[in-house]
Structure 1
């Protein structure tokens, strides 16, 4: 039983007991021989006392009473010491699977009541197949006592039957071979009556910090009493569908109880009938999520700057940073602006060992633009890319600028490449160099396929212009005779006359 304050668990609080089983002789023997050595005699006495709150021939709930009865029956003082001892005993029962305790908030009294749900003891087979219970019992009574106890609880099969299980045949008769049900007539009255008297119950909710969802009690405790939406929130107590929707939004956007209460207090979240506007709730939750994410990134950037400053101070004080060598197969070419400053060995060592802040300064004659510093700070502190991978990314971007004058470096472009590196798990210098080499090969193939242009076919066949044959001079004399020329002139005159007639 997890209890933050002893004032929430006193002899004045009410309680009830629930169970859906009865104890047999074997169960009683399991309680006394296996469970009692693990949790102690007082915890088993508490279990028996709670069991007796309901008649043996019945299952279900007991009457609601004050916990004072438990304190007096067990001989405990209703003080802080007695409360701590009772919480300790219930916790032992919960740990071994004999009890589940739930706390129920009652808005009318603005207080709690407690429900003790008893669980049946495990059968000998189930108990000794549960490893942690068997090991705990071994630690309490010893290994040989555990083996002896198991033999006492298990009746062996006769010797004449041993080894004959392979010849066992199941000859049992199934239900529908003997009985026939009249399924053509549906008795709605019987189904309704069985539903009304059924013993189904709402399962208990875990605490908000540990469970997968929030319950009504956690929301109503923190919701302001003077809010205009207070009566709408109070209706959520028995509206499990709406609570499921709320928990879906809470889980989707990682909201706390305080965040949810703040959103439910906004105007327009509820309809005049009291139903939740799911789209509006998700919209407000998304805005809160994005704002929280942005603030978290800013905090990480600020803390990262502080850590970097401290590391630089420590490195400057004494310990020299260890340099890492670069294998020849992972060398990259020196950019144009570095051709006269260093050779290929020096440049690759700088990429592998220098921080990205110093590498950026070498590319700019003056100060580095603030937008570039912000971009790579986010990649370093939010995306958690290693420093050598960021250096290779900077080299790749500068290579694109030198080879393609139309290329522009902006935040979206750089973050797209960084996110692609994260998806492909590029977390070392060698993987980063291999990544940019693969990207260069892909771009080269695309450029060759499109003829070096920027046109994109997107998978469709490109329609090329048809080739037109060109008349070539073959050296033959193709002069026209006078007779052919006169016929051509007559033909042209006839065409001209026909056009005039058509126009008239």
Structure 2
């Protein structure tokens, strides 16, 4: 039980106990043999006292009483010391899964009420499948005692059962019984719905989906809202409450955001049914807006760090080897030499390098956004981004978003992470472009000549591909002719 202020938990506050089970002889043995060594005899005594608040042949809620009766039953003195002892013992029960404490606010009495929700002990087989409980008990009683307890509580199967094949001879329900499916009893279903407790919905949500329970939502929901009646009806509409929690979990909504969405118009139909598509659409808008704010904050923080780091004194500049020097573009001729230009690309931030390439000194917002994304989302180093800027200018590529992202994606795919790798990448791209243009020029010239000749003859035909002419029959190649053939073969392979 988490209590930060002892004045919010006193013996004068009222309480009730909820349980939906009855303890058997096996459960009592599990409490004594398994749980008591882990939490202590006093904690098991608290559990037993809470269990006795409701008759043994009934399940549900006990009547509201002051916690003073609990303190007197447990021989705890009313006061801060007794409260701390009680909180400590209930915390142990909560840690091993025997208890859950809920604090509820009752508007009619303007006060808080504590609800102690009891859980039955685990069955022996299920207990030993629970690793953290098993290891905790091992630490308390020892390994050999634990194995002895397992043999005492779980009887092994007879010999020969392991290898024997079994056949299920059980009769299913619908082979023996027939229900009247033509009549739907509305009054019966309404009675079950009215008798359903908030505890039923809370167990399913907390254990299965870890979502918001009905009390959590209704306490935060505005009283004067026109959707108040619809939200109150969620107490009996477990299916709608589950859908709300699924959407809240999918789009990472807080309890406050969930209540705000349920307060908006068109989320519920006139009959109180939840419009799931509308709620999901509005939740997606919340999610996108929140993500956009986080991205903007992350970008803003990322911008501050490099500026401060660049202003620090004693920052060492990275040198560039002459083998990896890039040519100075024409727009910088007379402003810097080759060494200075490459030192700028290697050490300056990409924002400053971009300004140098735009004569007006103001970089368009679209270009800045693309390079900002490459820097913060793609995580390319500054020196690689600077080489990318140089390549975009010298190769006369378009400064459009798609063109820049295409080159950046190619760099990421080829694992370009250093200045030297980026320079090699740009040189390879330049060589590939030259070969492509040279091949296209040759093909275009040959095709143009043949097409012109065909037009002169008044015919339209496909261009004839060049073929290798055969040598003279029974003729031998001279060394010069053989060398010429090797030269032409290398050119055809694309290795000039």
What's the TM-score, normalizing by structure 2?
0.66
Q: Provide, for residues 23-68 of structure 1, a one-character-per-residue CA deviation record: whole Å limited to 9, x for no partner.
A: 22x4323322321121111111112222333444444444444433
Residues in 1 aligned to 2:174 and 2:246: alpha-carbon distance in whole angstroms: 46
Asked if the contact 2:104–2:114 (Cα under 8 Å) also holds between the matched residues in 1, the reply is: yes
- 1:428 maps to 2:414: no
Provide closer, same or farther for how the CA distance between residues 33 and 215 of structure 1 changes in structure 2, counting only shifts above 3 A.
closer
Which residue pairs with 2:100 in the alignment? 100
SS of aligned partner of 1:203: helix
**Structure-2 change in CA distance of 1:23 and 1:335 (3 Å):** farther
Compared CA separation, residues 212 and 153, structure 1 to 2 (3 A) = closer
CA separation in 2, counterparts of 1:226 and 1:185?
44
2:400 counterpart of 1:409: yes
3-state SS in 2 of match to 1:176: coil
- Contact 1:269–1:277 at 8 Å: present in 2 too? yes
Gaps of 5+ in 2: 442-450, 460-496
Tell me which residue corresponds to 2:486.
Answer: none
- Mark the structure with the bigger radius of gyration: 1
Q: Is the 8 A contact 2:18 2:62 kept in 1?
A: yes
For 1:416 and 1:433, the matched residues in 2 are separated by: 15
Does the 8 A contact of 1:17 with 1:61 survive in 2? Answer: yes
Give the direction of change, closer, same or farther, for the CA distance of 1:90–1:418 in structure 2 (3 Å limit). Answer: farther
Task: Sort the Cα spacing of 1:270 and 1:82 in 2 relative to 1 into closer, same or farther, 3 A.
Answer: same
Q: How does 1:336-375 map to 2 (within 5 A)?
A: 336-337=329-330, 354-364=348-358, 367-369=361-363, 371=365, 372-373=367-368, 375=370
Q: Which runs of 5+ in 1 are unaligned?
A: 453-464, 474-504
- How far 1:78 moved relative to its partner? 4.2
Aligned to 1:176: 171
Describe the superposition over 1:365-408 as per-residue Cα deviations: whole angstroms up to 9, x where unpaired. Answer: 56352624454345434665443453354345335xx434xx24
Provide the rounded CA distance (Å) in 1 between the counterparts of 2:189 and 2:276. 35
The change in CA–CA distance for 1:127 and 1:109 in structure 2 (over 3 A counts) is same
The C-alpha deviation readout for 1:150-194, integer Å capped at 9, x for no partner, is: 455566789xx5xx5665454x66123999614486696999969
2:457 to 471, 482, 485: 471
- Which residue among 215, 218, 224 is the counterpart of 2:216? 218
TM norm structure 1:
0.65
How many residues align? The count is: 437
In structure 2, how many angstroms separate the alpha carbons of the residues matched to 1:265 and 1:189?
A: 33
CA shift in 2, pair 1:306/1:38, >3 Å: same
Alignment match, 1:320 = 316
- Three-state SS of the structure 2 residue aligned to 1:403 is coil
Distance 1:17-1:282 versus aligned 2 partners, 3 A rule: closer
Q: Does 1:39 align with 2:28?
A: no
Please tell me the root mean square deviation across aligned C-alpha atoms, in Å. 5.2
Q: Any idea what the Cα deviations from partners look like across 1:303-340, whole Å, max 9, x if unmatched?
A: 233322332234x2x3536x498998xx7975744896
Report deviation, 1:243.
Answer: 3.7
Q: Output the CA distance in 1 between the equivalents of 2:424 and 2:214.
A: 51
Which residue of the partner structure matches residue 397 of structure 1?
A: 392
